[in-house]
Copies of this chain bind each other. A is one copy, B any other.
C-alpha cells in the first residue's frame, strides 16, 4: 500500500495545507502548490504575505492533504488520498528544492525571485493513506522517507 501512497504524492502538484493560528491555536486550511522530493518530502514556495506563512513561521506543525482525481465512476470519497503530518520549515539554502519546484511549476518563475517569496520543506512524521472506502492505514516517517 505504501507504493500506492508514494505514487499518489509523486503525481501531486497541489495540496491543502493545515497550519495553526499562532494567537489562538485554531487550525487553518489553505491551498498550496507543491513539489514532492524523491525522498518523500514536499517543497513549497510561500509568500510572507499569506496567512499560512505567518502561521508556519510561528509554529512549523502542519499537515498536507493530496488527493487523486476520482475516476468517472467514483465519488471523491472513493478515490485515494494521503494526509501528511509533520513540520514545515523555511529553507535558508533552497538549492535543489528550487530546481525541483520550478520543474513542477514553470509559471512560478514569474514570482520566485520576489522578495516576499521563500522556499519551505514539509518533512512528514506520520502519514494517513486512505486507499478507498474502508481501506486505510498509517505510515511512520522513518518508513516513508527514503534516502534522496
Contacts and interface: CB of A to CB of B under 8 A. Distances in A.
B64 A29 contact: yes
Interface in A28-87: 28-31, 33, 51, 61-65, 67, 75-77, 81, 83, 85
A118 interface: no
A54 B83 CA distance: 16
Identical chains bound together, number:
2
Which secondary structure characterizes the binding site on chain A?
A: strand
Interface residues of A, number: 35
Given A31-B67, A65-B31, A75-B107, A26 B85 contact: yes
B31 A20 contact: no
Contacts of A128: 28, 30, 51
